[in-house]
A and B are shown apart, each in its own frame.
Chain A
Amino acid sequence: MSLTLYCHHCRGKRPLSDFVYGEIPKVPDSLTDPVERDLDRGFMHDNVEGVVVERWFCHGGCHRWITVRRDTRNDTVLSPET
């Protein structure tokens, strides 16, 4: 993997090792029981094979979060462009 991400806050293009991954947890609306919703939020994942929207923390730069669109089938970053 040699992913590169672009941080628009500090205008830095950096290797992935400069960022920390942050998932945006999603609990399906179909789950209504509060206990089941907690369980889902705690443990379950969509584990998408396709385009995801996710957060990355700019650890090697400005210490702010960026939002990235990535295709998990081939690790292509769709936005922001590098």
Chain B
Amino acid sequence: MNEYVERKVTFTWSEPRSSYDVVIVGGGGHGLATAYYLATRHGITNVAVLERGYIGGGNSGRNTTVIRSNYGIPEAVRFYQRSVELYEGLEEETDRFLMHDKKGLLWLAHTEMGARAERARAEVNTAFGAKTEYVEPAQIKEICPQIDLTGNGKWPVVGASYHSGGATARHDRVVWALAEGAMNRGVHVHQRTTVTGLVKDGERVVGVATDRGTIGAGTVLSATGGWVTRLAEMAGLRLPIRSHPLQAFVTNHYELQFPSLLSSGDLLFYVSQTARGEMLMGAELDPQPSYSTRAGHPFIQSCAQRAITLLPFLRDLRVLRQWTGICDMSPDYSPIMGTTGVDGFLVTTGWGTWGFKAIPAGGEQMAELIATDETPELIAPFSLDRFARDRTLADRGSSGTH
């Protein structure tokens, strides 16, 4: 899509109605994608997205934009593969340049155990439709010439899985394209509108209280990221979610090309190069549950140290900026989508540190659930009641933090 002439994004703002068929709380990627697919796939446009700040101001505008489907369990591989494919067609569908860049992802192994895990990943990926193969050190060096295969003598690279479907896209552009597409079809998006309570009729949720008045709703969907527990409390619901800060940082411009995405599970960091040439890095969560987006030096120090172990050239770069987002962490590192047991109240949450890639498929599937009143088969395993049914979907290793 490099020969196109960019039009300005056109948002059509409106005054809130007294009620909508569907009210979506949270104007991040998941809320907006659900509205977009409701409008485009089901012709449901009497929909409002209520965002307390600005759209994309939550994690959807703060993430490191890794798109991939190389997960470790069949349910996840199938779901994320759907999202990877939707992303591949999203520029054409929305007629927006999203800077979608399929660059491939290397997931490194430093031990025999790690190598076995990467072989297993390649197998389960292939079986369920994701494109991943096991590669040897010589191939790794070909894909990523900058890598020190000895890991500075301490973390030798013994192999990797190579996921050719790995990609990135510009996060705000994704958010804006979905918002624009939904609004063009009649969906309302209301920024600076905070949901402060839920309106109930008996046991059923029938609307939301906001700082701009009460709004009736046939269905309320919470797509509130790290703040989902507040919405759930309003519905009288307890969730298996804890909110943790996740940090990331970028360096100044690196003049050579760094072609692929690179992750190391053992060293717990991942890196990619942005379109501006900056090196973008992320690592593990902050250990304490928190809503503080304060970013700090200890994170950069420890992450940079690990990254330099494999990529010595990083030593000569400077840190440009760092930032933090608040992640809705689920106990099994899998998302939670669907009905909640409270009539009229749905959630899409547990997106933790990995939900950017899931925006199209999450939105598509939640829209189908809302439109048809039936949970689509692709997301049925991710329902909230899996914890009560003893059907958790543990996928820690492959969730990584991206």
A residues lining the B interface (CB < 8 Å): 1-3, 15-17, 20-21, 23, 28, 39-40, 42-47, 49, 52, 54, 70, 72-75
The reply to whether A43 and B387 contact each other, CB–CB distance below 8 Å, is yes
Contacts of A40 in B (CB 8 A): 238
The reply to whether A45 and B229 contact each other, CB–CB distance below 8 Å, is yes
A-B pairs, 6 with minimum CB distance: A2-B296, A43-B240, A47-B229, A75-B292, A44-B238, A1-B296
The reply to whether A42 and B387 contact each other, CB–CB distance below 8 Å, is yes
The reply to whether A44 and B286 contact each other, CB–CB distance below 8 Å, is no
Contacts of A42 in B (CB 8 A): 387
The reply to whether B289 and A47 contact each other, CB–CB distance below 8 Å, is yes
The reply to whether B239 and A75 contact each other, CB–CB distance below 8 Å, is no
Binds A, one of B4-12, B105-113, B242-250: B242-250
Closest to A5 in B: B288
Contacts of B297 in A (CB 8 A): 2
Closest to A73 in B: B291
Partner of A45, one of B242, B287, B299, B388: B242
Closest to B324 in A: A1
Contacts of B289 in A (CB 8 A): 21, 23, 45, 47, 52, 72
Contacts of B331 in A (CB 8 A): 43
Given A1-B298, A2-B297, A2-B298, CB of A47 within 8 Å of CB of B242? yes
How many whole Å from A66's CB to the nearest CB in chain B? Answer: 14
Closest to A75 in B: B292
The reply to whether A44 and B287 contact each other, CB–CB distance below 8 Å, is no
How many whole Å from A6's CB to the nearest CB in chain B? Answer: 15
Partner of A1, one of B239, B241, B242, B290: B290
How many whole Å from B234's CB to the nearest CB in chain A? Answer: 13
Given A1-B298, A2-B297, CB of A49 within 8 Å of CB of B291? yes
Contacts of A15 in B (CB 8 A): 298
* Interface bits B129-144 vs A (CB < 8 Å: 1, else 0): 0000000000000000
Question: Can you list 11 A-B pairs, Cβ within 8 angstroms, ordered by A?
Answer: A1-B286, A1-B292, A1-B299, A2-B296, A3-B288, A39-B387, A47-B239, A49-B227, A49-B243, A49-B291, A75-B288
Contacts of A16 in B (CB 8 A): 287-288, 298
The reply to whether B296 and A21 contact each other, CB–CB distance below 8 Å, is no
Contacts of A28 in B (CB 8 A): 238
Q: A72 vs B290: C-alpha distance in the bound complex, in angstroms?
A: 5
Q: Does B154 contact A (CB under 8 A)?
A: no
How many whole Å from B351's CB to the nearest CB in chain A? Answer: 15
Beyond A1-B290, A2-B297, A20-B287, 16 additional contacts (C-beta under 8 Å) are A1-B292, A1-B298, A2-B294, A2-B296, A16-B287, A21-B287, A45-B240, A47-B241, A47-B242, A47-B289, A49-B229, A72-B243, A72-B289, A73-B291, A75-B292, A75-B294
How many whole Å from B22's CB to the nearest CB in chain A? Answer: 26
Contacts of A21 in B (CB 8 A): 287-289
Q: Does B295 contact A (CB under 8 A)?
A: yes
Contacts of A2 in B (CB 8 A): 294, 296-298
Contacts of B388 in A (CB 8 A): 39
Q: A1 vs B296: C-alpha distance in the bound complex, in angstroms?
A: 4
Q: A20 vs B287: C-alpha distance in the bound complex, in angstroms?
A: 8
Contacts of B227 in A (CB 8 A): 49
How many whole Å from B275's CB to the nearest CB in chain A? Answer: 29
Closest to B240 in A: A43
Q: A72 vs B299: C-alpha distance in the bound complex, in angstroms?
A: 18
Closest to A39 in B: B388
Q: A20 vs B297: C-alpha distance in the bound complex, in angstroms?
A: 19
How many whole Å from B73's CB to the nearest CB in chain A? Answer: 18
Q: A1 vs B299: C-alpha distance in the bound complex, in angstroms?
A: 8
How many whole Å from A73's CB to the nearest CB in chain B? Answer: 5
Contacts of A70 in B (CB 8 A): 288
Contacts of B292 in A (CB 8 A): 1, 72-75
* Interface bits B192-234 vs A (CB < 8 Å: 1, else 0): 0000000000000000000000000000000000010110000
The reply to whether A1 and B245 contact each other, CB–CB distance below 8 Å, is yes
Partner of B239, one of A17, A45, A74: A45
